[in-house]
Structure 1
């Protein structure tokens, strides 16, 4: 993601996360937090159709726990494999950035609503498994998923 992508990504954010506010500001803050936060977009001939944010947890470490903090695909483009491609194509880029900084990926952390069908996506693409459920964390119950030893 680059600064020029923020308007399109903010549109996707607004459509995908209707309870959240200040989409542009949220994404701009994340983009400005590089290299802690690694942001990528998916686009087609019409513009930005999705994005993904990966966040290094608990400081810059040699063995990194990376959180798939947010994945969004425009509702008009869901069900076409864009979310899967965002994960599969951005993760090697994230690993490359970690290696450039002298680090290796250890685990991937994902939190999502307990009723979110994307759990299957995280399981099939990352090997993430539900570790625990956190009651009423945001708007409903959330599950914490971890893909272990993914280097």
Structure 2
């Protein structure tokens, strides 16, 4: 389940990246702002490219987070890996939900990944703890461990 969340983050980041480099806004963005892209362009022609720049940067961070969580979950060992992934998830999903609620951007479709993600991550973390106990043995998933075992 944690690997699935990591994949979901990578996929979400790629969608955000695609929006950022093409149309910049999704419908709910402009609805929330109460303006059209043309009105924003009229205010300042640099405004939309700046927003696109921020959106693409954010997309890169989401993809990177997904890759890091996936690699740590697949090859990481020990309770510290679970703790790091859990803390990262709390910070990432918590801050995202907090800012959306603070500014009043509460479109349910827009927030869906931020609502499903932490539930899936929490379920995955609970399963991980249940399945692995206090340690996370991963010798069959860790290529260096497999090579060491085959050498002996």
TM-score by length of 1: 0.29
Higher relative contact order (CA 8 A, sep 6+): 2
Larger strand share, 1 or 2: 1
Larger helix share, 1 or 2: 2
Structure with larger Rg: 2
